[in-house]
């Protein structure tokens, strides 16, 4: 640890390259003061990973800093500017309406990370909003970010959740106010490029792209066409990310272009949720009235967002517009295959398939088809399949098959599929080894929607953090059996889940 981090309270050692290099893409701003901040939850492991003094921050000092009442040494708070397509409609000026980038730190692994507030008050981009956040959405983002991290998916993460001691008003009524502190590889979005492109300033566009390449894709800097190489790399990361979402049943809920990062991390856990019963048309978001961002649409919408990014980058790809469009189209058209490759590799692991066979794509898709319309829990189906794979005797095999079939309203399609799968998984591994490999990638626990709501309701309405802490503990070890956690494995009853909705929290 350097001298700056030793002497700065909390160990902050900022190096704020965004503020230094991208003037014009932000407004310097200060967080609103809060009357009675209290540190409700602090991510000690993450703090130490990014080089902060977790012991010093896990108390009154942390409450003051993470509420916005005390500016840490070296911070340069700013509200970032960006545009974006929201549910298909373009907004030329969005920006951080309730967020502030405090600055950047370089962690123990040498990685540069943003530290930002969410819910810290009005900014020049707030429009008619109050810039505040309620406790429920803050804790949801904490939970889901940690779940995604434990599942091995690239994600922003919560560093701290602070209650402010004030009330805010939403459609549901009076709610306790809170501020989330979020850590990200960066907060640069497709919408950031859309904002710059709209200024018709080629120099500013190049400056932003050069910054992204240096920060996220330094290996592309010496490419013959570094901007096209950057675009290709962004496509690759997004294909991998969305394939990961799909294979764990995650639904983002608001895949607007201002919610797609150039770093390839999942960002903005607003109306998100995990799917229980398999249905490609599943939508939870109350504002997604037409199902634009339904579970099954997510790969297509990622491709659409990347096309909007390509439009902004055309002047950098080539001087000749037709040539630029040709280059962009050629690279963009690789997304479906890239996505399919990542998805199939993940599905092979989930199904216990070793190596690669031509029929694997059909085998994976047909397993999902066998689930569709059968009220089958997506997460449990794969775990039960792992139990079938682990069977070493006829008796245990029959018991595992019976447990799997019992989950289906009609198991006819499953029964037709099973012999194909059983033939495909034959290899030199023992049943126990094969099952262990499957269980290592198929979660036993996800943030079940009814459990998330129980935790958030207890914290918001009664100040009881115990359900939150218990749920957090379970989802941080998603692949391993945990004592007294059976209740966290089960989906909500159909009657409870039927009308479940999530909200954006603004």
Q: What is the DSSP string of 15-51?
A: --HHHHH-TTSEEE--PPP-SS-EEEEE-HHHHHHTT
| Closest to 234 in 3D by CA, of 155, 97, 119, 335 | 335
**328 lies in the same domain as 359:** no
**370 lies in the same domain as 339:** no
- Collect all residues with Cβ–Cβ distance below 8 Å to 290 and sequence separation of at least 6: none
**358 lies in the same domain as 488:** yes
Domain C-terminal end among 130, 152, 187 = 187
**171 lies in the same domain as 199:** no
Q: How does residue 505 score in pLDDT terms, banded at 50, 70 and 90? A: low
**pLDDT averaged over every residue in the chain:** 94
**179 lies in the same domain as 53:** yes
pLDDT at 5: 41
Domain C-terminal end among 153, 187, 221 = 187
H/E element, 345: helix 335-351
pLDDT at 7: 59
In a domain, residue 98? The reply is: yes
**376 lies in the same domain as 397:** yes
**Which pair of structure tokens corresponds to residue 92?**
């030329």
For residues 503 and 447, which has the higher predicted lDDT (pLDDT)?
447
Catalytic residue of the set 258, 268, 288, 377: 258
Q: How does residue 257 score in pLDDT terms, banded at 50, 70 and 90? A: very high
In a domain, residue 505? The reply is: no
**371 lies in the same domain as 324:** no
**422 lies in the same domain as 438:** yes
The single-letter DSSP state of residue 122 is -
Give percent of the chain above pLDDT 70: 98
Domain that holds residue 434: 354-492
pLDDT at 178: 98
In a domain, residue 199? The reply is: yes
Handedness of CA 65, 68, 70, 71 (dihedral sign): positive
Q: How does residue 1 score in pLDDT terms, banded at 50, 70 and 90? A: very low
Q: How does residue 377 score in pLDDT terms, banded at 50, 70 and 90? A: very high
**183 lies in the same domain as 198:** no
Q: How does residue 396 score in pLDDT terms, banded at 50, 70 and 90? A: confident
128-151 pLDDT, tens per residue? 889 999 999 999 999 999 999 999
Q: Residue 258 catalytic? A: yes
37-57 pLDDT, tens per residue? 999 999 999 999 999 999 999
**409 lies in the same domain as 482:** yes
Backbone angles phi, psi at 88, to 5 degrees: 90, -15
SS3 52: coil
Q: How many domains does the chain have?
A: 3
For the segment 29-33, the average pLDDT, to the nearest whole number, is: 97
Domain C-terminal end among 291, 326, 344 = 344
**35 lies in the same domain as 183:** yes
Q: How does residue 4 score in pLDDT terms, banded at 50, 70 and 90? A: very low
- Collect all residues with Cβ–Cβ distance below 8 Å to 398 and sequence separation of at least 6: none
**Which pair of structure tokens corresponds to residue 375?**
């009220």
**180 lies in the same domain as 308:** no
In a domain, residue 500? The reply is: no
- Reported pTM: 0.95
For the segment 463-481, the average pLDDT, to the nearest whole number, is: 97
């Amino acid at each position: 640890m350097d001298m700056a981090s030793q002497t700065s309270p909390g160990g902050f050692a900022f190096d704020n390259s965004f503020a230094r290099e991208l003037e014009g893409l932000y407004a310097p701003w200060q967080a609103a003061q809060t009357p009675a901040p209290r540190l409700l939850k602090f991510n000690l492991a993450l703090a130490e990973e990014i080089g902060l003094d977790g012991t010093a921050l896990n108390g009154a000092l942390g409450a003051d800093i993470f509420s916005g009442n005390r500016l840490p040494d070296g911070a340069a708070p700013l509200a970032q500017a960006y545009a974006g397509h929201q549910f298909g409609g373009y907004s030329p000026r969005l920006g951080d309406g309730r967020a502030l980038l405090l600055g950047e730190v370089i962690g123990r692994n040498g990685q540069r990370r943003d530290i930002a507030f969410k819910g810290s008050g009005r900014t020049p981009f707030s429009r008619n909003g109050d810039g505040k956040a309620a406790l429920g959405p803050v804790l949801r983002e904490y939970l889901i970010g940690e779940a995604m991290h434990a599942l091995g998916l690239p994600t922003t993460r919560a560093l701290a959740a602070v209650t402010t001691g004030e009330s805010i008003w939403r459609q549901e009524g009076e709610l306790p106010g809170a501020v989330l502190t979020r850590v990200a590889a960066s907060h640069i979005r497709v919408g950031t490029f859309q904002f710059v492109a709209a200024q018709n300033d080629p120099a500013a566009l190049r400056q932003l792209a050069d910054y992204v390449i240096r920060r996220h894709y330094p290996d592309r800097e010496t490419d013959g066409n570094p901007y096209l190489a950057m675009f290709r790399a962004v496509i690759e990361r997004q294909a991998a990310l969305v394939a990961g979402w799909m294979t764990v049943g995650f639904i983002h809920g608001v895949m607007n272009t201002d919610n797609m990062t150039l770093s390839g991390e999942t960002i903005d856990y607003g109306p998100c949720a995990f799917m229980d019963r398999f249905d490609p048309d599943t939508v939870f978001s109350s504002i997604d009235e037409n199902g634009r961002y339904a579970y099954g649409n997510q790969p297509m919408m990622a491709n659409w967002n990347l096309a909007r990014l390509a439009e902004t980058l055309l002047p950098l790809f080539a001087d000749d517009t037709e040539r630029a469009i040709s280059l962009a189209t050629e690279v963009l058209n690789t997304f479906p295959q890239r996505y399919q490759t990542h998805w199939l590799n993940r599905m092979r692991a989930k199904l216990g398939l070793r190596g690669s066979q031509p029929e694997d794509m059909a085998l994976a898709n047909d397993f999902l088809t066998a689930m569709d319309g059968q009220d089958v829990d997506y997460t449990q189906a794969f775990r039960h399949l792992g139990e079938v794979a682990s069977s070493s005797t006829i008796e245990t095999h029959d018991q595992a098959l019976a447990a799997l079939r019992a989950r289906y309203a009609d198991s006819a399609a499953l029964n037709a599929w099973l012999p194909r799968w059983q033939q495909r998984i034959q290899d030199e591994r023992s049943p126990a080894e094969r099952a262990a490999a499957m269980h290592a990638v198929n979660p036993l626990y996800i943030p079940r929607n009814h459990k998330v709501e129980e935790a958030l309701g207890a914290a918001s309405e009664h100040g009881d953090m115990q359900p939150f802490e218990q749920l957090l503990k379970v989802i941080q070890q998603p692949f391993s059996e945990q004592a007294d956690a059976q209740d966290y494995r089960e989906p909500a009853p159909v009657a409870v889940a039927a009308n479940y909705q999530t909200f954006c929290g603004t």
